[in-house]
Structure 1
Amino acid sequence: MRILATADLHYALRQFDWVSEQLEGYDLLVLAGDLLDLASPVELDVQEVVVKKYLRRFAARRMLLSSSGNHDIHETRADGERAAVWMEDLIAPTLKPDYQSYERDGVLFTVCPWWDGPDTRAKTEQRLKADAAKSKHTWIWLHHNPPSGTPIAWTGTECAGDAVVVEWIKLYQPDFVFSGHIHNAPFYAAGSWNARIGKSMIFNAGKQPGPEPTRIILDLQARQAEWHSIEGADRMTW
């Protein structure tokens, strides 16, 4: 299985177009959050319409897993927590958004939302607990906020990220986690596009300007991951 993974497209439509042009070379597409952009002059309702069209177009050609990021959550539920309800509504056989799981050839994917409060966090924990009990040989998560205290969460001055996801990773030890959120972490000397917590490998592709997004190519059969950016390519094997 060859997986194309990126995050933090932030309504950069040329980068969405680039993804569309590259799909033929991959079995599955991962978008790990922040597809919308709160700082854009384009209204969020308009952004949603456009991004929904892209996601459905991608899913018509390849299996698509898409998690929410902090820029994607702007609707308030009855419990007072914000969520990317627009993305959750896109669920389809070939499109798995927040809280969904997908299994293929023994590889289980779990799509985690950006959690804004205790209810979202508890629901995410329930999803992880349920998927932990499933039979699988490889477990892959999507979680936009990277684990704190790791190089993929390095902002240039400090390690940001999510302390809760660190505890989840330590508890369940997934094989791989795709994240994003900290845009420049892969470009700093003290940062990185990959890290480990126990046996878990965690990735953050970062973000760059221009028509091509930063991205990670995960090849499970070849047992390697590649990071591509304007700085070139880097590779790791296991």
Structure 2
Amino acid sequence: MRVLAFSDLHMARNRAADLVVASAEADLVIGAGDFCNARRGLKEAMQMLSGIAAPLILVPGNAESAEELTAAAPEGAHVLHGTGMTLDGLRLFGLGYGVPVTPFGDWSCDLTEAEASELLDRCEAADVLIAHSPPKGYGDVTSQDVSVGSTAVRDAVERIQPDFVFCGHIHDSWGYRGMLGRSQIANLGPKPHWFEVTT
């Protein structure tokens, strides 16, 4: 299965146009959160992605709530947050929001590590884990060289060992690739990223 994955669109119209064009070659498209900015413009951001015809899996970032994303998502899209699904034999599980709690204030949709761990405990197995926040120590370094990823996500990756972990959130680490056990971790960013995923 040819998977197109991205994160942190933040209403960038040119990036959205590139993703829509690229999606014509995709069997599945995955968006790992932060489609709008500070809870504003989500409907417009979803309209920018409305040309995607492939199956679409979305996870909320800290810039939009799960409820807001579910309401605004294109028809037929699947929103995962503390939930999973199987698509053509591919097991997917998603966890949105900022983990741990961000310093951004009331607008940011965040979870404590304990809250994230409780939601991730629902996942017994997955081929692809989509988490807006990266696992602690993997693709989570800021421009100040501080590791700000999630221990709950890291613990879940170590337990589940999915083939792929798609994340975003930490813009300074966009493009990161690494391995945690047998799991390939990718901090995506808003460019098209391609993965061959087997079921």
Bin of the TM-score, shorter chain as denominator length: 0.7 to 0.9
| Change in 2 beyond 3 A, CA 1:106/1:57 | same
Contact 1:90–1:97 at 8 Å: present in 2 too? no
Larger Cα-atom Rg: 1
Once the 2 structures are TM-superposed, how far is the Cα of residue 123 of structure 1 from its aligned partner? 5.6
Q: Which amino acid aligns with 1:51?
A: A
Aligned residue number for residue 61 of structure 2: 69
- Which of the residues 180, 194, 197 maps onto 1:217? 194
Greater fraction of residues in strand = 1
Number of aligned positions between the proteins: 184
- Which of the residues 159, 164, 184 maps onto 2:172? 184
Q: Does 1:162 align with 2:150?
A: yes
Consecutive unaligned residues in structure 1, runs of 5 or more: 73-82, 133-137, 187-191, 207-212, 222-238
Aligned residue number for residue 179 of structure 2: 196
| Change in 2 beyond 3 A, CA 1:91/1:36 | closer
Q: How far apart, CA to CA, are the structure 1 residues paired with 2:135 and 2:168?
A: 10
| Change in 2 beyond 3 A, CA 1:2/1:31 | same
Q: How far apart, CA to CA, are the structure 1 residues paired with 2:55 and 2:172?
A: 28
Q: How far apart, CA to CA, are the structure 2 residues paired with 1:5 and 1:172?
A: 20
TM-score (norm 1): 0.68
Q: Which amino acid aligns with 1:158?
A: V
Q: How far apart, CA to CA, are the structure 2 residues paired with 1:91 and 1:12?
A: 17
Counting only pairs closer than 5 Å after superposition, residues 61-210 of structure 1 correspond to structure 2 as 61-72=53-64, 83-89=65-71, 94-99=76-81, 100-114=83-97, 116-117=110-111, 121=116, 124-129=119-124, 132=125, 139-150=127-138, 152-156=139-143, 157-186=145-174, 193-206=176-189
Q: Which amino acid aligns with 1:52?
A: M
Once the 2 structures are TM-superposed, how far is the Cα of residue 28 of structure 1 from its aligned partner? 0.8
Corresponding residue SS for 2:127: strand
Q: Deviations over 1:51-101 (max 9, x none)?
A: 23345542xx110011111122xxxxxxxxxx3311133578831112343
Structure 1 segments (4+ residues) deviating >6 Å: none
Corresponding residue SS for 1:22: helix
Higher RCO, 1 or 2 (CA under 8 Å, sep at least 6)? Answer: 2
Q: How far apart, CA to CA, are the structure 1 residues paired with 2:121 and 2:158?
A: 16
Q: How far apart, CA to CA, are the structure 2 residues paired with 1:85 and 1:104?
A: 22
In percent, how many aligned pairs have the same letter? 25
Corresponding residue SS for 1:128: coil
Q: Which amino acid aligns with 1:86?
A: E
